[in-house]
Structure 1
Amino acid sequence: MEAIEEVFQFYDTKGDSKIAVSQIASCLRSLDLQPTEALMERMTSQWKDHPETRITIEEFMPIYQNVKKEVGKRPTFEQFQIFLSHYDREGSGNVKLQDLRQLLQSSGEKMSGNEVDALLSNLEIVEGKVSINELVRLITS
């Protein structure tokens, strides 16, 4: 609880023991949680029309707990492998770079071209393909 209070105080820029709704995601990320934009929209929907609203730590805690519970449901190594194997048309254990780039830029939490390039720079690309196991190791590490 002490770490949460410390981070909350850091984002309290007015000294009123509150943070702006627009800072909730940053506050959560400072607490080592990685909420998706969709999750944040759901958690802050009641303030959608008033993003300048400031909330107390008592209002923040249920959001923190819910996000912590949701983010804790991360896919396993095997689940990533199974998912990516659907893009392995040849059954070789590899996914085409073009398919991977399309997937990362158009599904779920969409990545920018620069983000995809940064991810791919950490992988060995052979004949325009990436090893599914190597990709999953990188994603889950």
Structure 2
Amino acid sequence: MTWPCLTSQGDFKEAFGLFDRIGDSQVAYNQVADIMRALGQNPTNKDVQKILGNPSAEEMANKRLNFDAFLPMLKQVDAIPKGTYDDYVEGLRVFDKEGNGTVMGAELRIVLSTLGEKMNEQEIDALMAGQEDENGSVHYEAFVKHIMSV
């Protein structure tokens, strides 16, 4: 696993430690997804739940783990196949009714809020900022490039 700024297990451990709010060298289960994202991964909440063993809401809030338990979980997330640029473009092409390389921004917002890992309105607004043209259309190839660069 290599990420732009983090190159060693020591770097990962240091980043992990930033999430230790109690000082016991452990973090709560409900912080694991955030830590993974801070370390350059982008797991779905469903992936994290599965890796943690599908804990209850109470366990998510109260159970804690140390870095030695976390590191294999991070490796599992890194091994999950990632979608490619072509995968995302092909998925959005389904909504290109006119075959002109665009989808309606309103339709894309609905998709983002209802399918897969649902996004809330603020997340969608942030993602869509500056992506719609004067007709409310989104050039989906540029949109996918934008998303993959974020």
Question: Residue 45 of structure 1 is aligned with which of 37, 40, 53?
Answer: 53
Give the alignment of 1:6-85 within 5 angstroms. Answer: 6-45=14-53, 47-48=55-56, 49-51=58-60, 52-70=62-80, 73-85=81-93
- Structure 2 gap ranges (5+): 1-8
Alpha carbon RMSD of aligned pairs, Å?
1.8
Query: 2:126 and 2:59 mapped to 1: Cα distance?
Result: 35
Choose the corresponding residue for 1:2, options 10, 15, 26: 10
The counterpart of 2:133, out of the listed 99, 108, 125, is 125
- Which segments of 5 or more consecutive residues in structure 1 lack a partner in the other structure? none
Aligned-partner Cα distance in 2 for 1:13–1:128 = 44
Cα pair 2:105 2:132 within 8 Å, conserved: no
Cα 1:31/1:96, change in 2 over 3 Å: same
- In the superposition, the TM-score normalised over structure 1's length comes to 0.86
Secondary structure of 2:116's counterpart equals coil
2:98 maps to 1:90: yes
How high is the sequence identity, in percent, across the aligned residues? Answer: 29
Q: Give how far 1:38 is off.
A: 1.0
Alpha-carbon distance change, 122 to 47 in structure 1, aligned in 2, over 3 angstroms? same
**CA shift at 1:94, angstroms?**
0.9
Give the whole-Å Cα distance in 1 for the aligned partners of 2:32 and 2:103.
36
| Residues 71-125 of structure 1 deviation map (CA, whole Å, 9 limit, x = unaligned) | xx32222221111110011111110122111111111121222222222222142
Alpha-carbon distance in structure 2 between the residues aligned to 1:3 and 1:66: 18
Q: How many residues align?
A: 139
Name the aligned partner's letter for residue 19 of structure 1. Answer: V
In the alignment, residue 121 of structure 2 is paired with which amino acid? G
